[in-house]
Amino acid sequence: MEIFVFGSGAWGTALSMLLTGNGHQVTLWTHDGEKAAAMARTRKNPALPGVVLPEGLAVTADPAGAERAELVLFASPSNHLRRTAALAAPHIRPGTTIVSATKGLEAGTDLRMSQIIRQSVGDGCPVAVLSGPSHAEEVSRGMATGCVAACEDKAVAERVQSVFMSDMFRVYVNQDVVGVELCGAVKNVVALGCGIVDGLGLGDNAKALFMTRAMAELAVLCQKAGGQRSTCSGLAGMGDLIVTCLSVHSRNRRAGLLIGRGSPVALALREVGAVVEGYYAAASVTELADKLGVELPICRCVYGVLYDDRDPEKVFRYLMGRDRRSEFDYDW
């Protein structure tokens, strides 16, 4: 199959390598012509140190190559996706399978990534979502990974499953696109908060408490938005939450760690040196919660630290001092 990938960061590159290894003809797009030439020449991407690109993987700065593709994959950062999708749209043929591998919500609109793509491309192409616990650093090295291919049309989800599945990249299908995408956005906010908990030195018990109660919040948000609670206990939910909160590869956790140790938010984001999706998602998730009438105390507290300069330690003590409640009382 001929596949065109928009987004040459670590994730887009890792997925391009996976797809090339699966025997597909893959072209990886970057907006930077010099970067495209350098990657084609050196067979390296600075975003994945020590990783060599397979010879069969083409690199380009020309979006017109998408006209030949049977499948188009979007892996841009969430804050660049609308611009990238608009650039790509004129070159995507009707009927082309589109996959979004970007996690997040759009600032200002609170739209999910598949909704942005749909607005840009129109209704002539099926749109699926690929999500789950999948750090690019490990996928690019062929390490065992499991993900979810989600689409309301089960046949499309199964098509995506067959394209991406390999001996070391296991893919499950799911028809709950809303739940899968919300899990992918909220887990970044939680991971940033979990890094703050680590930076404050509050211990493993506190971290487990933080993660578990955040997952309860996510279940409420998913249901209110039209998704399914069960999705939150799967790979796109709990699986992605675990890896993003605990992994050394997690940019969100690293940013939170720096903030918890006293770094100003802006400095922590710069020091991480790449897009920290949880920072943007915190604002969008809070806006969405307001629209849906969902409380989300943990996500709101993370937002307060990031945007309102609230003291992280006082915020955590506020969470610990909230009114008593039943563990499974979700009518917040």
- In SS3 terms, 10-49 reads as HHHHHHHHHHHHCCCEEEEECCCHHHHHHHHHHCCCCCCC
Residue 135 is predicted with a pLDDT of: 94
Number of domains the chain contains: 2
CA quadruple 201, 185, 9, 170: dihedral, nearest 10? 100
Beta carbons of 36 and 161 less than 8 angstroms apart: no
Residue 286, SS3? helix
Looking at residue 15, which CATH number applies to its domain? 3.40.50.720
Strand partners, 243: none
Strand partners, 27: 4, 58
Question: Which domain-ending residue is among 122, 143, 175?
Answer: 175
Instruction: Report the relative pairing of strands 127-131 and 97-100 from DSSP bridges.
Output: parallel
- The domain in which residue 169 lies consists of 2-175
Residues 36, 99 within the same domain: yes
| Distance of alpha carbon 140 from alpha carbon 168, whole angstroms | 11
The answer as to whether 74 is a domain residue is: yes
81: its two tokens:
């996706």
**Closest C-alpha to 282, from 190, 218, 194:** 190
Beta carbons of 107 and 284 less than 8 angstroms apart: yes
The answer as to whether 327 is a domain residue is: no
Catalytic residue among 187, 207, 224, 314: 187
The answer as to whether 60 is a domain residue is: yes
State the Rg of the chain over Cα. Answer: 19
Residues 8, 99 within the same domain: yes
| Distance of alpha carbon 61 from alpha carbon 175, whole angstroms | 33
Beta carbons of 194 and 245 less than 8 angstroms apart: yes
Residue 223: φ, ψ to 5°: -65, -45
Residues 84, 193 within the same domain: no
Residue 251 is predicted with a pLDDT of: 93
Residues 86, 7 within the same domain: yes
Residues 170, 220 within the same domain: no
| Distance of alpha carbon 185 from alpha carbon 189, whole angstroms | 7
The answer as to whether 78 is a domain residue is: yes
Q: Which amino acid is at 108?
A: G
Beta carbons of 192 and 304 less than 8 angstroms apart: no
The answer as to whether 257 is a domain residue is: yes
- Apex CA 14: angle with CA 13 and CA 18, to 5°? 115
The answer as to whether 189 is a domain residue is: yes
Residues 129, 82 within the same domain: yes
Looking at residue 209, which CATH number applies to its domain? 1.10.1040.10
Question: Which domain-ending residue is among 155, 175, 195?
Answer: 175
Specify whether 103 is catalytic: no
The set of residues, in sequence order, having a beta carbon less than 8 Å from that of 139 and lying 6+ positions away, is 14, 15, 17, 18, 145, 169
DSSP state, residue 321: T
Question: Which domain-ending residue is among 132, 158, 175?
Answer: 175
DSSP state, residue 209: H
Residues 123, 209 within the same domain: no
Beta carbons of 97 and 2 less than 8 angstroms apart: no
The answer as to whether 35 is a domain residue is: yes
| Distance of alpha carbon 136 from alpha carbon 141, whole angstroms | 9
Residues 171, 42 within the same domain: yes
Give Cα 286 to chain centroid, integer Å. 17
The answer as to whether 282 is a domain residue is: yes
The set of residues, in sequence order, having a beta carbon less than 8 Å from that of 192 and lying 6+ positions away, is 252, 253, 255, 256, 259, 276, 278, 279, 282, 302, 306
Give Cα 16 to chain centroid, integer Å. 16
**pLDDT tens track of the chain, all 332 residues?**
999 999 999 999 999 999 999 999 999 999 999 999 999 999 999 999 999 999 999 999 999 999 999 999 999 999 999 999 999 999 999 999 999 999 999 989 999 999 999 999 999 999 999 999 999 999 999 999 999 999 999 999 999 999 999 999 999 999 999 999 999 999 999 999 999 999 999 999 999 999 999 999 999 999 999 999 999 999 999 999 999 999 988 999 999 999 999 999 999 999 998 889 999 999 999 999 999 999 999 999 999 999 999 999 999 999 999 999 888 765 54
Residues 34, 125 within the same domain: yes
Instruction: Report the relative pairing of strands 25-29 and 145-150 from DSSP bridges.
Output: unpaired
Residues 149, 197 within the same domain: no
Residues 68, 199 within the same domain: no
Residues 199, 110 within the same domain: no
